[in-house]
């Protein structure tokens, strides 16, 4: 048998047309297009690109957006069921249960044709934000807010969360957040989902598999970890002691390091610009300054200790963006999933279209 690679590090498991990462030069492309060139599009356009493999024309985009808007609403019974559970601070548990519940209300749940999968993919992308917002409001006894059809995917989510129409910059920030979170090759949740899809399990089941894997603090859960860390540090004066203390105790600092990127993750650079712009609009750079100080100290400390720097990953400045958007930390992983669902669906479709059951071997010791 081949040599075992712990964590499958460096192992190539499959071919994909969906995304490309160059971890040395810090390049990320969705369907051959650099992330920097996609970040200013709408989430609808990027979601279409990921799932259908091409940038939509004007008419295609307008029809796709119309279908997403038409499918935003969720079954009232579903919210009633979900209110019975107390998900506490683990919003992702609520989302996972809600997606399972959505599958039960979807007549095509166990239909496995390309058309049924296309219909389900629109329902999934469209309903994720409504579910996340409704569950959050239900957790403190508030009624869900109906989606507003003239708002973009991201802006409508912010509106359904708070009942306030976001500013132009806030709406843009939310759209960018969903775009930057939408896809990242064979990260742990996508790999888990492709394994489920490779057994020809249905689209909802595969997405739930992705959600369960995204939850972990070393993957999507790190975003909440960064928000909690910023709260714990509390002020810029405490940054040095806090970060050095963590390093001394050999504890991981959330939002830093990456298995693939050995330089700055290109998404982190875009998130940093968004966080700075929001800080300036808010007239309050408190969170941004604290984050920049953590980045600065870690960069230099790592060079000192290990002879090479460590860089922020996608979760670091996104957490700062959420602070300025007034998003509670417990929603951070669910919102990540709201963006990622398009990439997950694209990977499911790719797996179904040229399938072989994913079944590696273990080295028995
Ligand atoms: N803080 C402190 N030290 C770190 C960090 C960090 N964030 N990241 C890596 N290191 C250190 C490790 O302790 C390790 O040291 P050692 O060689 O003395 O054991 C060394 O750098 C190599 O790190 P690994 O954990 O082996 O790197 P790996 O490729 O396995 O892990 C990972 C990457 C899991 C992302 C890691 O950097 C980490 O745990 N970061 C914090 C959690 C996080 O932000 N996760 C989100 C990743 S992006 C995403 O999933 C969406």
315 CB within 6 A, ligand 1: yes
Q: Whose CA is nearest to atom 15 of ligand 1?
A: 250
Q: Supply the pLDDT for residue 89.
A: 65
Q: Is 315 a catalytic residue?
A: yes
Q: How far is the CA of 22 from the centre of ligand 1 (A)?
A: 18
- The pair phi, psi for residue 33, each rounded to 5°, is -110, 130
User: Which atom belonging to ligand 1 lies closest to the Cα atom of 184?
Assistant: 51
Average pLDDT, the chain: 95
Query: Which of the listed residues 257, 258, 337 should we mutate to test ligand 1's pocket, taking the one with most ligand atoms within 8 A of CB?
Result: 257
- pLDDT for 326: 96
Angle at 318 between CA 123 and CA 299, to 5 degrees: 145
Q: Give the separation between CA 99 and CA 224, rounded to whole angstroms.
A: 21
Confirm or reject: Cβ of 298 under 6 Å from ligand 1: no
Residue 346 has pLDDT above 90, yes or no: yes
Reported pTM: 0.95
All structural domains of the chain: 27-214+345-353 (1.10.580.10), 222-324 (1.10.230.10)
As a dihedral over the C-alpha atoms of residue 61, residue 176, residue 50, residue 209, rounded to 10 degrees, the angle is -130
259 lines ligand 1 (CB under 6 A): yes
**Confidence grade of residue 238 (pLDDT, cut at 50, 70, 90):** very high
The one catalytic residue among 44, 93, 106, 315 = 315
Residue 65 is predicted with a pLDDT of 98
Q: Assess whether pLDDT exceeds 70 at residue 88.
A: no
Spatial contact of 197 and 293, defined as CB atoms under 8 Å apart: no
- Determine which one of 136, 258, 265, 347 is catalytic: 258
User: Does residue 86 register a pLDDT over 80?
Assistant: no
Please state, in angstroms and as integers, the Cα–Cα distance from residue 122 to each residue in 44, 188, 205, 262, following that order: 11, 24, 16, 35
Q: Determine the atom of ligand 1 nearest the C-alpha atom of 259.
A: 29
Residue 9, burial from CB neighbour count under 10 angstroms (0-12, 13-18, 19+)? exposed
Stretch 284-313: mean pLDDT, rounded?
95
**For ligand 1, is residue 164 a contact (CB within 6 Å)?**
no
Locus of tokens 């669902």: 341
Could you tell me if 150 and 309 are in contact, meaning their C-beta atoms sit under 8 angstroms apart?
no
Nearest residue (by CA) to ligand 1, atom 44, is: 255
Active site residue 202: no
Tell me which residue of 196, 199, 229, 200 sits closest to 213, measured CA to CA: 196
- Looking at residue 39, its pLDDT comes to 98
Q: For residue range 132-182, what is the model confidence (pLDDT) as tens digits?
A: 999 999 888 888 999 999 999 999 999 999 999 999 999 999 999 999 999
Residue 78's pLDDT band, with cuts at 50, 70 and 90, is confident
DSSP letters along 93-162, please?
HHHHHHHHHHHHH-TTTT--SHHHHHHHHHHHHHHHHHHHHHHHHHHTTPPPPPP-TTS-HHHHHHHHHH
From ligand 1's centre to the CA of 299, what distance in Å? 14
Q: Are 314 and 181 in contact (CB under 8 A)?
A: yes
Mutate-to-test residue for ligand 1 from 92, 228, 252, 306, highest number of ligand atoms within 8 A of CB:
252
Q: For residue 250, give the ligand 1 atom closest to its CA.
A: 13
Give pLDDT, residue 75: 85
Out of 69-78, 170-179, 269-278, 309-318, least confident range: 69-78
The stretch 245-274 carries a mean pLDDT of: 95
Check pocket membership of 343 for ligand 1, CB cut-off 6 A.
no
d(CA 15, CA 20): 10
Compute the average pLDDT of residues 301-327: 96
DSSP state of 21: E
Atom of ligand 1 nearest to the CA of 255: 44
Contact 340, 181 (CB under 8 A): yes
**What is the arrangement of strands in the sheet containing 19-22, beginning at the earlier edge strand?**
19-22, 27-30, 33-34
Q: For 10-43, what is each residue's pLDDT tens digit?
A: 999 999 999 999 999 999 999 999 999 999 999 9
Compute the distance between CA of residue 319 and CA of residue 333 in angstroms, rounded to an integer. Answer: 10
pLDDT confidence bin for 85, thresholds 50/70/90? confident
Rg (CA), the chain: 20
Compute, in angstroms, the gap from residue 254 CA to the centroid of ligand 1. 8
> pLDDT per residue over 49-62, tens digit each?
999 999 999 999 99
Question: What are the distances in angstroms from CA 332 to CA 40, 239, 293, 337?
Answer: 22, 22, 22, 9
- pLDDT (0 to 100) of residue 306: 87
Question: Residue 303 above 80 pLDDT?
Answer: yes
Residue 227, number of CB atoms within 10 A of its CB:
25
Residue 68 Cα, ligand 1 centroid: separation in angstroms? Answer: 37
Average pLDDT over residues 84-106: 85
Spatial separation of the C-alpha atoms in residues 95 and 240, rounded to whole Å:
36
Residue nearest to ligand 1 atom 31, measured at CA? 259
Side-chain half-sphere CA neighbours of 82 within 13 A: 33
Q: Do the strands 19-22 and 33-34 form a parallel or antiparallel pair, or are they unpaired?
A: unpaired
pLDDT digits (tens, 9 = 90+) for 175-225: 999 999 999 999 999 999 999 999 999 999 999 999 999 999 999 999 999
Give the bridge partners for 28, in sequence order. Answer: 21
pLDDT confidence of residue 358: 97
Q: Looking at ligand 1, which atom is closest to the CA of residue 188?
A: 50
ipTM of the complex: 0.96
Cα–Cα distance for residue pair 106/119, rounded to 1 Å: 10
| Token code pair at residue 92 | 């992702």
Q: How far is the centre of ligand 1, averaged over its atoms, from the C-alpha of 310 (Å)?
A: 9
Q: Is the pLDDT at 311 greater than 70, yes or no?
A: yes
């Amino acid at each position: 048998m081949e040599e075992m690679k712990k964590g499958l590090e460096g192992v190539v498991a499959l071919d994909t047309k969906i995304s490309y990462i160059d971890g040395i030069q810090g390049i990320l492309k969705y369907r051959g297009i650099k992330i920097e060139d996609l970040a200013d599009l709408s989430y609808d356009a990027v979601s279409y690109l990921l799932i259908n493999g091409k940038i939509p024309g004007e008419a295609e985009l307008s029809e796709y957006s119309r279908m997403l808007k038409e499918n935003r609403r969720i079954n009232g019974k579903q919210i009633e069921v979900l209110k019975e559970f107390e998900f506490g601070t683990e919003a992702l548990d609520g989302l996972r249960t809600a997606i399972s519940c959505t599958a039960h209300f979807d007549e095509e749940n166990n239909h496995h044709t390309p058309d049924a999968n296309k219909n389900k993919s629109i329902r999934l992308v469209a309903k994720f934000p409504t579910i996340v917002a409704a569950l959050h409001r239900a957790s403190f006894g508030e009624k869900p807010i109906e989606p507003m059809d003239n708002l973009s995917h991201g802006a409508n989510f912010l509106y359904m969360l708070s009942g306030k129409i976001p500013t132009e910059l806030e709406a843009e920030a939310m759209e960018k957040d969903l775009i930057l979170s939408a896809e990242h090759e064979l990260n742990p949740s996508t790999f888990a989902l492709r394994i489920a899809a490779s057994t020809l399990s249905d689209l909802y089941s595969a997405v739930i598999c992705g959600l369960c894997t995204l939850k972990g603090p070393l993957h999507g859960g790190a975003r909440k970890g960064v928000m909690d860390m910023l709260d714990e540090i509390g002020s810029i004066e405490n940054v040095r002691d806090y970060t050095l203390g963590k390093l001394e105790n050999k504890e991981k600092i959330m939002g830093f390091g990456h298995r693939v990127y050995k330089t700055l993750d290109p998404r982190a650079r875009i998130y940093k610009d968004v966080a700075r712009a929001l800080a300036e609009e808010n007239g309050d750079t408190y969170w941004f300054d604290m984050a920049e100080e953590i980045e600065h100290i870690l960069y230099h400390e790592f060079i000192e200790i290990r002879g090479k720097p460590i860089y922020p990953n996608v979760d670091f400045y996104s957490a700062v963006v959420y602070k300025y958007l007034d998003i509670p930390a417990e929603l951070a992983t669910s919102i990540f999933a709201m963006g990622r669902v398009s990439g997950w669906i694209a990977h499911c479709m790719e797996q179904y279209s040229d399938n072989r059951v994913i079944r590696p071997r273990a080295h028995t010791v």
